[in-house]
Each structure stands twice: as structure tokens, then as C-alpha cells.
């Protein structure tokens, strides 16, 4: 990826729309986040405007009169680019730029720009380029005279910028090529996942809003050296590390891309293969910035995105991070309280992960004939034996194992010529300890 060196700091005017006067503060908070995105992109916010109107204007988003007012403000503040908090249609963008006399972009373009700067791996770069081209393709119409911008402003950087000077056919060819590359990389990723599954290590994924401390937590838990910076989307490429829990079991824990309000659908689709790892996880660790006044809204956004990618039903353990910065809001649900900065609560989190994974495992009962000592040995090798009871003609063995281990055990038994169906294997809905099956959200505090 080639980034353009700039000798100036782009000056930005932010614009949001509030459905009513009562919603102005909500929109102002949203513009705070947009300002953080702009700052991450390397530009400077010099002014912000909120237009109160019930619904966006289909032609200019904010109405003709407000556009003319923005044009005057842009001149007054010497603005280079006007950034809107909602996604603009190609027509709205063209109409706005005609009146404003400068570049008009939306929140999606800013997020894509930040991703373009932060992608490092081959797959990450390809995913971002695909998202950029899919976003820019419908905006080619009527803009061929000024598509050769090379000043490096927000929305023009990153892979694909020179492609904007090519015709639609060549951009579509590049999109097709990127899809083939990502499909090939996804096949490699699936082979890696299959290998991990055969290794029978539980898969745990760190999820959460951007900049809540997921990468810092991964470093604290595993001693990894993942990049940590106090800015949005500092890390995009997933990192998987081994982690040994207090009970002795080893799991695989992965850091994932952070979520954000109005995450562009182009990015969700482009990162689909990466996000599949979240949907396939045994447990999600939902990291929350407990010190943020918007923590509750951020949790809702994360869960909405999880549902969108098919991970809404994966069991979740909530972790309230940054407790050293202040008391968490009473509105937040219960969770494991930690501070990655000070190390407080890390040992308790490790214990909670182990407890939750053990509760999620299935308990099955094997009724094994006395003359099948080899079968008993196989069960002891492949699963956690909870109890054995001797009856008249068989041994009743209760074991606990996750779905992968259970499937592997059955496969091994079948390969050794055992009639698995004749072994009278039944799933036991009860557990031998005091754990109850937890709700998939939050932490059981009982």
C-alpha cells in the first residue's frame, strides 16, 4: 500500500443531522467519534455543524439553504473537506461539491481511509482495497475530470487511488481479481482452522468496540507483542496466540478487528472471511471500555454487528476493562472487571474463561462392556473422565468434552472398528459440579 506524503494538515468541517432538537446532544456525541476518526486519519477538525431536520434531503442531504451556509462557513474557516456523519449517495455527493466548491465525503470514506492506512498483512490490504473499490465504483459517474487527485486527502488515499483514473471495466476487473485472491487466502485460512480443530484447542475470540483495549488484553494474557496504540483501528489484522489456563488446558485466543457505529457494509463484506473466525469461536470475550460514557451504546453496536456476521448466538463473556479510570456505569451488565494497565483482575479473568469453557462442554455417558478395556483406554485419552461406575456387565463412564473432542473421539472409535451406535452413548444434560448453564450474555454472579 502506498501512502501519499503530505506537507499540510487537511482542515475538516463536520456535519451531522438531528431528527429533532432533543437529539442534538446525541448527534454531537456521534460527531465526537467522527472527529476521532478524522484525527486518526491525520486531519484537523476546525468546525462542526448540526442541522435539525426530520429526514435528510434526497438531493443535498441537508437542504439547499444549509448547503449555501456551509459554503460560506467553509470559506471562513479555510476548510479543505466537508465530512458528513451519514453515508451520502453519489448524487448527494456531486450536488454538495458543486455548491461547496470543495470535496464532500461521508463517514464511510473516513473509516475506509483509516483502514487503508492501518492494513499490514497481504489479506488485510486486499480486503481494504476491495472495500475501497466497491465504495468508489458507483461514484465514478460525472467525476472523471477530477479523479486524478494526488494530494492525499481523506477518501483519496490507499490502494485503488490510481484505479480511479481507469474506466469502470478495469476497476471491475480489479475487484474480480481481489475476490479471487481473497478466496485463495480463505482456503488457506480454512486449512489452518481445520488443523487447529484437530488439535482440539478451544477457540476464543476477543471482540469489542474499537480502542477498548483488546490488543492490550491479548498482550497481557499471552505475552504477545501485538501493536498497541491509543487510536481507532490501530490493529486490523487478526492475531492468534496460545494461552494456558489455570486448570492446565491450552486454548487459542484471537484478537479481531474492532467494531464501530455504522461500520461500512463494504468492510463487513470484505472482512467476511476474517470475521468468520468469530462466528466459529467456542467463546467470545466481549471487551468493554467501562470508563466510557458511551459504553452501553458501544455494546449494542458490537452485538448488532455480531448478529450481522452470524455470531449472535456464540456464548459471550463480558469483560469490563479500564476500571482504573473510574467506576463503571450502573447501567452496564455484570462482567469480569479488569484493568490491563495495572494488571488488576487478569488472574480472575483467566479463571473465568476456564470456568465458562468447562460449563459449555458437553457431558456424555458411555456404557462400556467389561471386555472392552481398549475402549476405556481410548476414552481416557480423548476426553476428561468425570466418573466411572461399575455395574453387573459394563462400566458407566461420564466424560466432559467440547463438540470437537466428542466428534474426534467418535471418529477414532469408528476407525478402530468399534460400533459407536452400539455403545449406548447418551448426552447428559446435567453436570457433576455446581455450575449451571450460563446465559450467553454477561457473567453468572450467583
Nearest to 261 by CA among 226, 218, 296: 296
Q: Which residues pair with 106 in a beta bridge?
A: 84
Query: What dotted CATH number matches 11-111?
Result: 3.40.50.11060
The answer for residues whose C-beta is within 8 angstroms of residue 39's C-beta and 6 or more apart is 45, 231
Query: What are the backbone angles phi and psi of residue 312, rounded to the nearest 5°?
Result: -65, -20
In the prediction, which pLDDT does 4 show? 42
In the prediction, which pLDDT does 438 show? 36
Tell me, what DSSP letter sits at residue 445? Answer: -
Query: What are the backbone angles phi and psi of residue 224, rounded to the nearest 5°?
Result: -70, 165
In the prediction, which pLDDT does 48 show? 95
In this model, does residue 44 exceed pLDDT 50?
yes
Write out pLDDT tens, residues 61-93: 999 999 999 999 999 999 999 999 999 999 999
Q: How far is CA 92 from the centre of its chain?
A: 30
Where are the CATH 3.30.70.240 domain residues in the chain?
Answer: 362-428
CA separation for the pair 318, 215 (Å, rounded): 16
379 band by pLDDT with thresholds 50, 70 and 90: confident
- Give the number of other CB atoms < 10 A from CB of residue 312: 14
Top pLDDT among 274 and 14 is at 14
Name the 3-class secondary structure at 390: strand
Query: What dotted CATH number matches 362-428?
Result: 3.30.70.240
Are the C-beta atoms of 4 and 151 separated by less than 8 Å? yes
In this model, does residue 314 exceed pLDDT 60?
yes
Q: For 146-171, what is the mean pLDDT?
A: 57
Mean pLDDT in the chain? 80
Plot region of 119 (φ>0 → left; ψ -120 to 50 → alpha; else → beta) = beta
The class (CATH top level) of 200-358 is alpha beta
Output the nine-digit C-alpha cell for 133. Answer: 473499490
Are the C-beta atoms of 192 and 180 separated by less than 8 Å? no
CA separation for the pair 202, 384 (Å, rounded): 14
In this model, does residue 148 exceed pLDDT 50?
no
Are the C-beta atoms of 182 and 127 separated by less than 8 Å? yes
In this model, does residue 266 exceed pLDDT 60?
yes
Whole-prediction pTM value? 0.73
Where are the CATH 3.40.50.300 domain residues in the chain?
Answer: 200-358
Lowest mean pLDDT among 204-218, 280-294, 374-388: 374-388
Q: For 10-31, what is the mean pLDDT?
A: 92
Amino acid at each position: 500500500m502506498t501512502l501519499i506524503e503530505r506537507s499540510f494538515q487537511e482542515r475538516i468541517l463536520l456535519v451531522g443531522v438531528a431528527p429533532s432538537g432533543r437529539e442534538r446532544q446525541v448527534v454531537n456525541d456521534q460527531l465526537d467519534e467522527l472527529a476521532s476518526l478524522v484525527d486518526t486519519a491525520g486531519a484537523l477538525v476546525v468546525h462542526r455543524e448540526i442541522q435539525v431536520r426530520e429526514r435528510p434531503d434526497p438531493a443535498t442531504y441537508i437542504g439547499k439553504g444549509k448547503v449555501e451556509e456551509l459554503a460560506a462557513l467553509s470559506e471562513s474557516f479555510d476548510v479543505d473537506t466537508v465530512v458528513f456523519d451519514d453515508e451520502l449517495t453519489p448524487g448527494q455527493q456531486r450536488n454538495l461539491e458543486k455548491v461547496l466548491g470543495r470535496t464532500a465525503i461521508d463517514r464511510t470514506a473516513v473509516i475506509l481511509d483509516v483502514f487503508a492506512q492501518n492494513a499490514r498483512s497481504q489479506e488485510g490490504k486486499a480486503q481494504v482495497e476491495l472495500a475501497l473499490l466497491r465504495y468508489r465504483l458507483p461514484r465514478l459517474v460525472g467525476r472523471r475530470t477530477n479523479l486524478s487527485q494526488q494530494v492525499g486527502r481523506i477518501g483519496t488515499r490507499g490502494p485503488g487511488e490510481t484505479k480511479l483514473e481507469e474506466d469502470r471495466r478495469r476497476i471491475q476487473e480489479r475487484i474480480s481479481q481481489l475476490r479471487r485472491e481473497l478466496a485463495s487466502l480463505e482456503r488457506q485460512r480454512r486449512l489452518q482452522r481445520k488443523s487447529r480443530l484437530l488439535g482440539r484447542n478451544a477457540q476464543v475470540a476477543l471482540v469489542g468496540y474499537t480502542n477498548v483495549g483488546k490488543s492490550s488484553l491479548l498482550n497481557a494474557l499471552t505475552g504477545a507483542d501485538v501493536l498497541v496504540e491509543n487510536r481507532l483501528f490501530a490493529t486490523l489484522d487478526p492475531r492468534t496466540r496460545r494461552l494456558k489456563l489455570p486448570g492446565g488446558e491450552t486454548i487459542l485466543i484471537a484478537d479481531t478487528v474492532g467494531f464501530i457505529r455504522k461500520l461500512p457494509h463494504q468492510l463487513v463484506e470484505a472482512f467476511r472471511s476474517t470475521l468468520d473466525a468469530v462466528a466459529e469461536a467456542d467463546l467470545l470475550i466481549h471487551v468493554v471500555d467501562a470508563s466510557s460514557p458511551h459504553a452501553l451504546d458501544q455494546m449494542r453496536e458490537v452485538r448488532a454487528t455480531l448478529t450481522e456476521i452470524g455470531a449472535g448466538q456464540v456464548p459471550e463473556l463480558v469483560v469490563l476493562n479500564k476500571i482504573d479510570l473510574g467506576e463503571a456505569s450502573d447501567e452496564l451488565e455484570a462482567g469480569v472487571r479488569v484493568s490491563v494497565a495495572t494488571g488488576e483482575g487478569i488472574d480472575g479473568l483467566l479463571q473465568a474463561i476456564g470456568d465458562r469453557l468447562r460449563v459449555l462442554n458437553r457431558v456424555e455417558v458411555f456404557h462400556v462392556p467389561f471386555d472392552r478395556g481398549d475402549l476405556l483406554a481410548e476414552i481416557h485419552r480423548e476426553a476428561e473422565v468425570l466418573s466411572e461406575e461399575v455395574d453387573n456387565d459394563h462400566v458407566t463412564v461420564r466424560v466432559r468434552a467440547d463438540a470437537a473432542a466428542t466428534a474426534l473421539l467418535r471418529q477414532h472409535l469408528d476407525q478402530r472398528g468399534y460400533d459407536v451406535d452400539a455403545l449406548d452413548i447418551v448426552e447428559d444434560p446435567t453436570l457433576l459440579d455446581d455450575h449451571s448453564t450460563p446465559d450467553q450474555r454477561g457473567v453468572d454472579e450467583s
